[in-house]
Amino acid sequence: MARSSFTGREGGYRHSGLKQQPLVLIGLVLVFSGAMLTRLTWLQVLEGAHYRELADENRIRLVPRSPIRGRLLDREGRVLASSKLTYSLYIEPRLVDDAGWPPLRDRLSRLLNLSPAELDRRRERGVDRDGYRTTLATELKPEQVLRFQEQALGLKGAMVDVDILRFYPHGTMAAHALGYSSPITESEYKLLGDKGYKIRDRIGRTGVEAAYEPHLRGKWGGQMLEVNAMGEVQRNLGDRPSVAGKDLTLTLDLDLQLVAEQVLADKKGGAIVAMDPRTGAILALASKPNYDPNFFSKLVTTQKEYDQLFDNPRLPLFSRALNAYNPGSTWKVVTAMAGMESGKYPPETKLKTTACITYGGHCFPDHNGAGFGTIGYADALRFSSNTFFYQIGVGVGSRHLKKAATDLGFGAKSGIEIGWEESVGLVADEDWAAAGRGWGQPGTTPWIPEDMASASIGQSVVQITPLQLARAYSVFANGGWLVTPHLADQGLDWTAPSRRSRVAIKPATLAKIREGLRKVVSDGTGYGLNGPGIPSAGGKTGTAEDNSSHGADHAWFATYAPYPEGEIVIVAFAQNTPGGGSVHALPMAKKVMEVWNRKRQKS
């Protein structure tokens, strides 16, 4: 009985274990099946689109086709910037291994007359920014392209493709106004990729190229090609043509721009601004030194070439027309306006001028060392008397001077489309000094009489741009309107209230300043402007100390014609060119005026 009982228990144990095994197996099958089903569902449903896209990428290649950028035209339709086709030689590294490269290189070298060493060097640089090919040579000649096409089937892994590059037919002319475009950066591409930009795209960087980027750029197109595992094209699955950018007609006049560049040629640095005072249309905008924007259209540029441009101590990329300098006596119209508008020195005021007047611990001289007797505003402008305007400026104080300057557009951006490159300048007053002058602690740098005397004649604590000066003189030329300078009309009404505002200036003030500006040209420091081909004009010369870099004096001349209702304002600025505005800046403006008047008489 005992044995039988033991056997029964043993048999019971075995029976129980066998009974549980199928359940374990079934559980394992269910677990693995569930995992497989989950994975399949994830692959097919949740990630299906992604993997189909990856599969298509292995089979389908989109060959992008870049758009042609819109042209930049002058006001008469003459081309200032366009696009040109250039052919480049590439290889696809995944189709050319190290063993296959030497024979391909040698064939390309013989066929296209290229240096084998240069081809090796280019290949070692790795793939281009598009991630799938390497540039071996650029700007191929037509005969090189034809030779390649004849032998293309035997040059597996190599290809010749066309690029569309920006082209500036006049080279350095108007470079700071037109600007340039250059390849998009990776960080920019991450931000702009969703807006239609490609990694091979080029984007406007400065000037009009940047300001009107959406108008000029166009839209990419491309071909969808089916390729095999070797990258060989099997068939064309579709073609979408690119959309060219829109042309942009600028307000610039090519003839005036060319002469503006010419008059700056022998200057160390400087600027010319020519503007229609009625609308603010920029007719010429030149700066010296300048640069050739075609530099940025090169497909391959060395670091040395970049350094020669960007590290150049002469700063050729820097627009002098939009940078601020001490204006000298061209500023005296602002002091005259402050004196009359304040009511303290009305238009009929006459003051005694002397050899010098003492303010603080310094005797501020008149430029002739003797003064000009007792004179009024018109003759003070005519002779450019310092001691007359010291008395006006010190008499009205810094806040009245600052108000007149603000009314004329100084101390602020002008509104021009390329305003991010524009300095606001400086029109200092006692509040500025009390706040620390931009470098000291508040309350430690008070406004002193010497500051006020200097500010009265555009020295030391006053800095303005040539463009700001042209805008201010437009107020006197057009009868009291502050216009918005612009480089493209865009079909807008530039005399609308949002773009042109009335300056709070009394008719008597305006008339007196106009009278003085006319006397400057008819029988004063600006007499040299007169001559054949020059209409009746008003203007003001200026010689200014260089308080920024302590270099030689600057020469200025601001003028408008015809008098009294002007149709053009010209500001000429010669940087660090001692000798006076009448000697250096006036002849520059005169040549521009002659070309303008000749065209005006023909129209």
For 137-152, write each residue's pLDDT tens digit: 988 999 999 999 999 9
% of the chain residues with pLDDT over 70: 89
pLDDT (average), residues 275-293: 98
From residue 500, give the alpha-carbon distance in Å to each of 281, 330, 413, 599: 12, 23, 14, 26
- The C-alpha angle 360, 361, 367, rounded to 5 degrees, equals 90
Could you give the CA distance from residue 281 to residue 489 in angstroms, rounded to a whole number? 7
The pLDDT of residue 186:
87
Question: Within 10 A of 230 (CB to CB), how many other CB atoms are there?
Answer: 9
SS3 sequence, 539-568?
A: EEEEEECCCCCCCCCEEEEEEEECCCCCCE
pLDDT at 31: 72
Using alpha carbons, select from 558, 561, 557 the residue that is nearest to residue 600: 561
Is the preceding omega at residue 564 within 30 degrees of 0, hence cis?
yes
For residue 5, is pLDDT > 60? no
Supply 277's token pair. Answer: 């005072």
Burial code (b: 16+ CB inside 10 Å, e: under 16) for 85-97 equals ebbbbbbeeebbe
pLDDT at residue number 111: 94
Of the listed ranges 101-105, 241-245, 318-322, 565-569, the one predicted with least confidence: 241-245
Q: Does residue 213 surpass a pLDDT of 60? A: yes
**428 φ, ψ to 5°?**
-80, 155
For residue 464, pLDDT over 70 is answered with: yes
For residue 118, which amino acid is it?
E
Q: How many C-beta neighbours within 10 Å does residue 194 have?
A: 7
Tokens at residue 236, please?
Answer: 């064309």
Over the stretch 473-512, which tens digit does the pLDDT of each residue have? 999 999 999 999 999 999 999 999 999 999 999 999 999 9
Enter the DSSP assignment of 491. T
End-to-end CA distance of the chain: 137
| Nearest-angstrom CA–CA distance, 437 and 603 | 51
Q: Can you list the domains of the chain with their CATH numbers? A: 61-249 (3.90.1310.10), 254-300+319-602 (3.40.710.10)
In the prediction, which pLDDT does 3 show? 44
pLDDT tens by residue, 29-79: 777 776 677 766 655 655 556 555 544 445 666 667 788 999 999 999 999
More reliable by pLDDT, 60 or 453: 453
Average confidence (pLDDT) over 13-32: 63
Buried b (16+ CB within 10 A) or exposed e, 311-343: eeeeebbbbbbbbbbbbbbbbbbbbbbbbbbbe
Tens digits of per-residue pLDDT, 558-578? 999 999 999 999 999 999 999
Angle between helices 386-396 and 398-407 (to 10 degrees): 100
- How high is the pLDDT of residue 239? 79
- Predicted pLDDT of residue 52: 54
Assessment of whether the complete model's pTM goes beyond 0.75: yes
**Rounded CA separation 290/589 (Å):** 19
Query: Helices 332-342 and 466-478 meet at what angle, rounded to 10?
Result: 50
Token pair recorded at residue 417: 């489309």
pLDDT value, residue 132: 73
Per-residue CA distances from 375 to 345, 348, 352, 369, 539 (Å): 13, 10, 6, 16, 19
Confidence label for 2 from pLDDT (cuts 50, 70 and 90):
very low
pLDDT of residue 542: 98
**Amino acid (one-letter) located at 316:** P
pLDDT of residue 11 exceeding 50: no
Please give the share of the chain, as a percent, with pLDDT higher than 90.
74
What does the pLDDT average to over 77-93?
A: 93
What is the DSSP secondary-structure string of 429-466? -HHHHHTTTTTS-TTSS---HHHHHHHHTT-SSEEB-H
* Residue 413: pLDDT over 70: yes
Confidence band of 579 (pLDDT split at 50, 70, 90): very high
Cα gap 526→534, rounded to integer Å? 13
Strands 373-376 and 350-353: antiparallel
> One-letter amino acid identity for 396?
V
Amino acid in the structure at residue 335:
T
pLDDT of 370 over the 70 cut: yes
At 408, phi and psi to the nearest 5? -90, 5
* Of 102-106, 160-164, 223-227, 256-260, minimum mean pLDDT range: 223-227
**Sequence-distant (≥ 6) Cβ neighbours of residue 484 within 8 angstroms:** 280, 414, 415, 416, 494, 499, 500
